Amino acid sequence: MEDEEETQQILKVLEALKQASQQLQSNPESDTSESDSSSSSSAIKALLELDTYSDPNLLNLSNHLSDLKTLISSLHKSKHKHGRIKSFLTRRVKTHEITKVAESIESEIQAWIDRESITNLTNQLQQIRLQSNSSQYEEDEDEIVEKLTIFHDRLSQGFNINLQELLLKSKIFSELEFLICCDGNIPEKIREKAGYALKEVVLFNKDVFVGQILMGQTIKALISMDSLCSLEVLSSLIKAIRSPFVDVLESVGGISKSISYLNSDDLPFKVTAMDFVLEIGYFGRKEAVEAMLNCDLIKKLVGLQRSDLGGDLIDLGKVHDEEIDEDEHEEKTKKKRGNKEKRFLEKHPFASCVARFTVQLEVGEGLRQREKRGFKQEILKKIRDACDTDAEAATIVAEVLWGSSP
């Protein structure tokens, strides 16, 4: 526990020092005055004294800090020497150099923060693995969730080669995967946050981490969690990994599970499930689409379109066309129509969902052209079987034929 508290203190100090380096970048002359006694001045003085810290990883930082001391001293002296013009030019050069050094210092401090926080998080997740059959760690649930959130936010800032080395060296991917796949007594909140974090690891560098998620048990575990969070993670992963992700999803029985989500009473969950089904349709190969149709997907979509949150877009388009002035620019017309449809779909998320799914198949990248034509005919037949009236069938069939690509 003492080591944990010490680590948190170090991280707080590092964050303060990083802010000090950012202040130097924005205003290199702000804290060079000896009379300045503000809190920011204290932080920068601490920054200048940091090179006394003995850590083999901090050689570059120590060198940058030494350069910073020299530059700030030189800048201070330039205020009292030379002519006015020469002094001004010297100070401009020095402030630019200070800004560049401060940027390097910020980068080194961020690398230090990353080392401390990832090492600390990995150690804590390893303890969870060891204690997974007990409830010792449950008292730290909020703390673990907070650390996973910080880790997630750090990765979402984009690729960084030093951070990637830390991820590989720490083997944190395996620890996150264990949390997601463990069906023991690990709280669902922690498992969901681990899912978000693992998703960010994959997005951080798909070339490195996609293979691990396709070969592991994560996809199957996320499907079995039956939560909005896990479905959001799956939706992000399918967009990132595309058809290979759908192949694995189909092989572990995830297609039928995904379609069953459309029966949920939880509206946000059901809407997210609808979006997920559309993504599967776009990226899915023949086997995945066959599995979807065999699970009575079209019947479910017809039912959703018939509901109060459904409706159709074909009439909306006709009404909109009548309102448009003949001389109006075509591009502006398309933009207006798109905005109107977007507003309508926000209130009616299942509107024209049969046609929207068919369009996904037609414009998607998972099927051959011959397969697309075959599935379109099969969908038209299933629409007629699923509709209660000829009028309903005619409307939905017209939408499919009107909305699909030729």
Q: Per residue in 320-376, pLDDT tens?
A: 444 444 445 566 666 776 788 888 889 999 999 999 999 999 999 999 999 999 999
Q: What is the 3-state secondary structure (H, E, C) of 108-122?
A: HHHHHHHHHHHHHHH
- Give the per-residue pLDDT at 82: 53
- Same-domain status, 234 and 263: no
The DSSP letter of residue 352 is: T
- Same-domain status, 263 and 398: yes
Higher pLDDT, 167 or 76: 167
CA distance 309 to 63: 63
Q: Is the pLDDT of residue 81 over 90?
A: no
- Same-domain status, 54 and 155: no
Within 10 Å of residue 161's Cβ, how many Cβ atoms? 7
> Which domain does 227 fall in, by range?
131-241
Residue 361 lies in a domain: yes
Last residue of a domain, one of 213, 241, 269: 241
- Same-domain status, 380 and 274: yes
CA distance 147 to 163: 16
Sign of the Cα torsion 56, 59, 60, 66 reads positive
How does residue 102 score in pLDDT terms, banded at 50, 70 and 90? confident
- Same-domain status, 235 and 271: no
Between CA 93 and CA 103, with CA 99 as vertex, the angle to 5 degrees is 150
- Same-domain status, 49 and 100: yes
User: How is 313-338 classified by DSSP, letter by letter?
Assistant: SHHHHHHHHHHS-TTS-HHHHHHHHH
Q: Per residue in 297-334, pLDDT tens?
A: 999 999 999 999 999 887 665 444 444 444 455 666 66
Residue 299 CA, chain-centre distance (Å), reads 33
User: How is 185-215 classified by DSSP, letter by letter?
Assistant: S--HHHHHHHHHHHHHHHHH-HHHHHHHHHH
- Same-domain status, 27 and 101: yes
> Average pLDDT, stretch 226-254?
96
Q: Per residue in 8-30, pLDDT tens?
A: 766 776 777 777 777 766 766 55
Tell me if 296 sits within 8 A of 379, measured CB to CB: no
- Give the per-residue pLDDT at 4: 64
CA distance 276 to 264: 14
Global pTM value:
0.81
Q: Which helix (H) or strand (E) holds 390?
A: helix 390-403
